Amino acid sequence: MEAEIAIIGSGIAGSAMAHVMGLQNRKVVLIERQFSEPDRIVGELLQPGGMTALQELQLEDCVENIEAAVVHGYVVHYMRNGESVVLTYPRKESGDSIHTGRAFHHGRFVMNLRKAALANTNVYKLEGSATQLIYEAGCVVGVSVKTKDSDSEVIIKAQLTVVADGSFSKFRRELSASEQKICSHFVGIIMEDCPQFKPNFAEVIISEAGVILVYKISPHCTRALIDIRGPIPSNLRSHILESFVNHVPQHIRAPFVRAVENGRLRSMPNCFLASQPKCIPGVILLGDASNQRHPLTGCGMTAAFNDVIIWRNLLQGIDLSDHSVVLSAVEKFHWERKSNHSYVINVLAQALYSLFSATEDNMKYLQEACFNYFQLGGECADGPIALLSVVTPKPLKLIGHFFTVAFYAMYNVTASHGLWMLPLGLIRSLRVIYTACKVIFPLMLSETLKPIKANY
């Protein structure tokens, strides 16, 4: 079988890529192990920046008819002092309404994306497992697929192979120079008929036990993602009941306990993967196969859709068999996505997780200062939520807000010691800013990694 483009994986990124390449009148083969509805505990929250990208890709109808919940922003519960702060998504330029996100059952959304892609007569589906990339003279010229209905393997010859096989990518090692690092694990539960602190707002719970993310995914179902630091305990159900229940806000405590006691507990590793592709002719990495960040901020799908927009523009009208042109596009894509969205998405996700999951004293000072910063309102609240929503993903604004929080933490630490203990307060405040630098600088550095150029 021959095609212009072979796409391995029909999840969020792969399906969207198939859709836009089909619209460019390219023959596309979309490969997936099973085209039945997937069942995952992440990929359920789409930020406003993702909604905007979805509209630009002509895929906005995919959030319809799946009972998706409208999201207006976040409520952050700081359980160390029992206070909460509401962060509302930015207003649209017209000023008449706010940007909104969506939350939904992951599988239903993916099935709509696949349906949209396969509605194009240029897109064909192949059910089977991709086993290996096919090389000729150092270039990838296709992929071998073991089909579902046969023990034999089908060879798909393609001018361009797109690897979008997700977090557990089979081909990442040969296509990326970065190592995947596990930050923690999310344990997912579904709470039935759970009340919301504020209608249409997701909730983030910061406590001594850990971080919990809560959002409604349908009229009667609310997802809770419980962050577990370190390995998953063998007695997971009792561990959550003993460690987390007393740190959950009262309005969701009863449905939370019912879900943990009687519901299905599912875990997923939360990973960080810096983007550093190997520039191999004939193949590109896309989505979680290429770049990952902690899912606390729910920006993975938003990153994927914005990546697809950039690839749509870069590949428009070019000859995919011209490897030098495609490799040039790979390098352009790598840097354009950073200035467009990925720098803010990646650095913010990892930095916020470091702060919200703090266990060490200096990090706790930063955590408290971050929450107090949100409470100040105005730009102190509007700026961070505009970054998080990917409405205005500007790297300099992100760095500015981060260091403002760090200096705010320094001020709080110094002031808490009083005049007589001022020298000690100054010493501790310097430790706080040093800790802040240890968090942010490695993340900033990871965004400067260059693609690895291959000889061919």
Instruction: Summarize pLDDT for 247-302 with one digit per residue, the tens.
Output: 999 999 999 999 999 999 999 999 999 999 999 999 999 999 999 999 999 999 99
Place of tokens 């500015």: 400
Tell me how far apart the alpha carbons of residues 345 and 338 are, in angstroms, rounded to a whole number. Answer: 9
Determine phi and psi for 174, rounding to 5 degrees. -85, -10
The answer on 307 and 429 residing in a single domain is: no
The answer on 203 and 259 residing in a single domain is: yes
Instruction: Summarize pLDDT for 386-398 with one digit per residue, the tens.
Output: 999 999 999 999 9
Q: Average pLDDT in the 292-315 region?
A: 97
The answer on 203 and 113 residing in a single domain is: no
pLDDT in the model for residue 360: 94
Angular region, 287: left φ>0, alpha ψ -120 to 50, beta rest: left
Q: What percent of the chain is modeled with pLDDT above 70?
A: 98
Tell me how far apart the alpha carbons of residues 247 and 207 are, in angstroms, rounded to a whole number. Answer: 6
Tell me how far apart the alpha carbons of residues 91 and 382 are, in angstroms, rounded to a whole number. Answer: 10
Instruction: Summarize pLDDT for 319-348 with one digit per residue, the tens.
Output: 999 999 999 999 999 999 999 999 999 999
The answer on 299 and 161 residing in a single domain is: yes
* Per-residue confidence band for 419, with pLDDT thresholds at 50, 70 and 90: low
* Number of domains, the chain: 3
The answer on 62 and 125 residing in a single domain is: yes
pLDDT in the model for residue 281: 96
The answer on 242 and 385 residing in a single domain is: no
Instruction: Summarize pLDDT for 137-152 with one digit per residue, the tens.
Output: 999 999 999 997 777 8
Would residue 78 count as lying in a domain?
no
Tell me how far apart the alpha carbons of residues 160 and 152 are, in angstroms, rounded to a whole number. Answer: 23
The answer on 33 and 19 residing in a single domain is: yes
pLDDT in the model for residue 151: 74
Check which CATH number belongs to the domain holding 11 and give it: 3.50.50.60
In angstroms, how far is CA 316 from the centroid of its own chain? 26
pLDDT in the model for residue 418: 67
Tell me how far apart the alpha carbons of residues 8 and 142 are, in angstroms, rounded to a whole number. Answer: 10
User: Is the predicted pLDDT of residue 455 greater than 70, yes or no?
Assistant: no
Closest CA to 57 of 46, 44, 70: 46
Tell me how far apart the alpha carbons of residues 454 and 397 are, in angstroms, rounded to a whole number. Answer: 35
Tell me how far apart the alpha carbons of residues 275 and 288 are, in angstroms, rounded to a whole number. Answer: 10
* Per-residue confidence band for 426, with pLDDT thresholds at 50, 70 and 90: confident
Q: Which residues pair with 385 in a beta bridge?
A: none
Tell me how far apart the alpha carbons of residues 265 and 259 are, in angstroms, rounded to a whole number. Answer: 9
User: Is the predicted pLDDT of residue 420 greater than 70, yes or no?
Assistant: no
* Residue span of the structural domain in which 189 resides: 181-271
pLDDT in the model for residue 415: 83
The answer on 115 and 17 residing in a single domain is: yes
Strands (E), 90-242: 101-103, 123-136, 139-147, 153-163, 181-192, 201-206, 211-218, 221-228
pLDDT in the model for residue 19: 98
User: Is the predicted pLDDT of residue 121 greater than 80, yes or no?
Assistant: yes
The answer on 205 and 58 residing in a single domain is: no
The answer on 246 and 314 residing in a single domain is: no
User: Is the predicted pLDDT of residue 422 greater than 60, yes or no?
Assistant: yes
User: Is the predicted pLDDT of residue 456 greater than 70, yes or no?
Assistant: no
Q: Average pLDDT in the 198-204 region?
A: 98
- Number of helices (H) and strands (E) in the chain: give both, helices first: 13, 18
User: Is the predicted pLDDT of residue 13 greater than 60, yes or no?
Assistant: yes
